[in-house]
Amino acid sequence: MADRVVRRIPEPTVVRLPVYQRALLTLSTCGVQTVSSAELAEAAGVNAAKVRKDLSHLGTYGTPGTGYDVSFLLGQVRRELGLDREWQVVIVGMGNLGHALARSQTFATQNFRAAALFDIDPGKIGEEVAGLPVRHVCELAKVVGGISRSIGVIASPASAAQDVCNRLVEAGTVAILNFAPAILAVPPSVQLRQVDFSVELQVLAFYVAHPEVTPEPQDAPLSGL
């Protein structure tokens, strides 16, 4: 555990770790026992030198002529990502996206569990989604305060996103994933990640409109819901 605190893994490497984890999980499921940096690079959509550099930050260098032990490396990457423990996911905003997230099979396979659902719409309060009742957002502080290792997910309209964010922070949530198309302000102690579909669509439109421009390889594609 001390090694995890002392060693600082660069942000670009952290962003690529889920991609390696997904590739390694596929290899493991197919019964592959060892993988070279070139093979892992091809599966992850990066170059082999970048794979070797990234994995060196984990203290892993592979075996010359053999490569990396898939099972061991998968376990190591999952530990670094914190996937060796269960995380409780709190979703605020139960529209179509909120419903899809709550029912996502990705959660269970990656040690994330939908733990509480919230909305402000009286028509949605009391509805059961994936075995969980939708609660009014006014209950958020009481419910989330009793959940350990919680990650907040904002799937509300942009106009409500900052208020939802404030409520999550006040409830003690220190990690938030925001799907609302809004720029949020959080304290330095809170980790905030933004997923903006409209921005991604605009970037795609740019490259389609300008075929002469070659985009950089995408390090971490959005995971399926």
Read off the pLDDT of each residue in 124-153 and give the average, rounded to a whole number. 94
The pLDDT value recorded for residue 7 is: 60
The domain locations on the chain are: 2-80, 87-199
CATH classification code of 87-199: 3.40.50.720
Radius of gyration, CA atoms only, the chain: 20
The structure tokens listed for 137 are 């957002």
151 sits in which H/E element: strand 150-154
Q: Give the Cα separation of 84 and 59 in Å (integer).
A: 18
The owner of tokens 């905030």 is 192
Which ranges constitute the DSSP H helices of 7-65? 11-29, 37-44, 48-56
**pLDDT, tens digit, for every residue of 6-41?**
468 899 999 999 999 999 999 999 999 999 999 999
pLDDT exceeds 60 at position 225? no
Q: pTM of this prediction?
A: 0.85
Enumerate the β-bridge partners of residue 119: 136
- Out of 1.10.275.10, 3.30.530.20, 3.40.50.10860, 1.10.10.10, select the CATH number for domain 2-80: 1.10.10.10
Contact predicate 150/89, CB 8 Å: yes
In terms of C-beta density within 10 A (0-12 exposed, 13-18 middle, 19 or more buried), how is residue 132 classed?
middle
Q: Which amino acid is at 78?
A: R
